[in-house]
Amino acid sequence: MTSDSKILELLKQLVGEGVQVSESPKTQEEREENLFIELVETIEIVWKQEHELYENYGIDLVGFSQYLYHAIETLIVLKYGYFRASTFWWYALERFDADGNLLGLEDEEGKTYFFKTHKQFYKFFKNLKG
């Protein structure tokens, strides 16, 4: 029994069977933000380690990892749509140039956005239309 189900069971004992517990929208938003940031961090780590293995030892994992990246990409498309998914991948993998300088994201009106933290990008991303 998970801790959530234990708490619900205790509440039912105290209040009665009609008790219903739901997360507040703030809690749901915080959870989604944390999961989003964790996903970005995980992709960055895996991408970096995969490239280091190739550069340092000549081990090429692309034949294996391409299917995992495709599965992740498909889930991101399902959740956010194609445009937002492509913006996500730009941020996760292409926001730095070869020298490590932060690149900006330019919108259709010519405005450029720079994201110094994952949280900044998430706030931009969740309001992105398309």
pLDDT in the model for residue 2: 67
Q: Give the pLDDT of residue 85.
A: 97
CA angle 48, 54, 59 (to 5 degrees): 125
pLDDT per residue as tens, the chain (130 positions):
567 778 778 877 888 777 777 777 788 899 999 999 999 999 999 999 999 999 999 999 989 899 999 999 999 999 999 999 999 999 999 999 999 999 999 998 999 999 999 999 999 999 998 7
Q: What's the full length of the chain, in residues? A: 130
Three-class SS of residue 130?
A: coil
Q: Any idea which residue has 């000549």 for tokens?
A: 58
